Structure 1
Amino acid sequence: MRKEVLFAILAGATLGLIIAFGVWRANIALSPKNPGQSQATPTPKPEFAISLASPSDLDVFSENPVSLSGITKANAFVAVSTEEEDYLTQADTKGSFEVSVELIGGVNQIVITAFDEKGSEVTQKLLLVYSSEFQKYIKEGESQDQEATDSIRFRVEQKVSQALKSPKALLGTVTDISENTLQIKSVAGEIEQISVSADTSALAMGKTNKEVKVADVAIGDYIVATGFMNGNGVLNTKRILITSPIEATNRMAIFAKVSKDNNTSLITQVIKTGEDKKVTPQKGAAVFLISEGKASKITFAKIDLDDTLVAIGTDTGEAFTARTVFVVNQQ
């Protein structure tokens, strides 16, 4: 009996030593080699994006041209496509870029695309409104500010309300009309309220533009209302444009290298994917050679094999129809 008890004690002690040794080895294996140093966490790569400083979506302008500025990836090519013109610039080593663009009267759909050296791209779209008639409403606001007292309280209030003094636009279909308010449904499906007054003017746009009364605006009309937002998020409307619904633009940009050329079309390879893309110029297409930051006009036939280009236009699937071509690296 004593031998059995002694054997059990020895067996238990041996098993305990084995378990303790295993735990000790596991702790050594799992503990960091340099306990005084924390393990470094990999720094995530910054996302490739476009951050616009100005303008903002649905801003209203009464003067041309308009400066468009922002930040993107360092040294990226930035293509800007407006309703009638296309522009190309290159961000500096810190990613900053700025370009001056021309707007047309009414609604302008702006497409901004940035490309890095590997062909990765990011696109941002804006809706801007240009109305030379809106200048008088901006001047009215400025004169009212000048008449106000120059007190500290006023200056603080002026700074707080600065954003509210920037002219804005709302676009949509009129769904309800009351005495001093129009209700519209935006493209995004949101219901917006706009206030009108005796000072609100209206313009019916078509083949010939015609000044009309606000009372002529009817339910079902598609309108562009421009004015100033009040503190309740309601647009105090100064001018209304009655127009056709805005259809989303299909303008886009591609970054590609010429693999085969002739006088009437190009076969290119998209930089990022290597996909073959036929590029055909539309009638009157503009072609520019970018050299040392300056653009000079050339003919489409001057584009050579292995040239790298940024083309802006529309993609039909079978071919890319270019409105503007920028040759950025000519061989």
Structure 2
Amino acid sequence: MGHYAAVWDHKAAIKITKDWNGIDQVLLRNPHGASAKISLHGGQVVSWRNAQGEELLFTSNKATFKHPKSMRGGIQICYPQFGDCGLLDQHGFARNKIWVIDENPPPFNSKESLGKSFVDLLLKPSEEDLKQWPYSFELRLRVSLALDGDLTLISRVRNINGKPFRFLFAYHTYLAVSDISEVRVEGLETLDYLDNLSKRKLLTEQGDALTFESEMDRTYLRSPKVVAVLDHERKRTYVIRKEGLPDTVVWNPWEKKSKTMADFGDDEYKSMICVDGAAIERPITLKPGKEWTGKLVLTAGKSSFCFDQLEALNYRAKDSDSYLF
């Protein structure tokens, strides 16, 4: 089962439980009280709490918790497509499938597990999947919780098919915020983006930071490796670091669309924002036997963050990928 560094009681670091549908969930803990819960339904992170026990991910009070439908919230694995752009389920089938714990994961860089509790999950296509999308693959996911409470997701897609295939990928990340009207997203200034509310029209971001006063659904292209979400009312900043994921999706349904979603409360748009590390604009092409890796690191801290810090993080990230992970 998952592995973790010998820096605290092993038995306390990881625990397997079952949800109300009898599906396994993996609970990761660190010695300071932070935790993360990962469901084998979709490989979905359904909870991430800081050392004070505060929930950092949003989950709708109207979410459907029944397989095969994915749960509205947490962090969803979107593969092999994002959006509703083909014959597959919206955002692909990975988030709707039952994953297994990977007993024999491929070797990882030792830094990626040092001082962390973590679990490795695995998804392979079923016969039904191959009828819809006829490509054999292995999708591995490592979710880890660090001593400082940072949450890391590392996904690996390997082509075990006899021919190349193309896919899209995203970590569909629902962050909990106090009031969307008081939230700013920094790090996406001056970037080109596809406005998904206007038939994917290509526009350029004009603001110093993103603020919210209506529905937003944008794909920022070739975005920096570090983006920050500032929640002024809660005095909290989320820092989102990514690798292998050139795009960033920002989504909030606002009032009108919220009322059309059966698994989303009418006013819940006020307390969430999705900021996704993604590979959407240019599909990833994977040759037989080759592997792709995408990484996401989430940090939640007090709002002492500023634009200059973000610039410094991105400057350092350009010079050293290992700095992020």
Q: TM-score, normalised on structure 2?
A: 0.25
Q: Which fold has the larger relative contact order, with Cα–Cα distance below 8 Å and residues 6 or more apart in sequence?
A: 2
Greater helix proportion: 1
Which has more radius of gyration? Answer: 1
TM-score (norm 1): 0.25
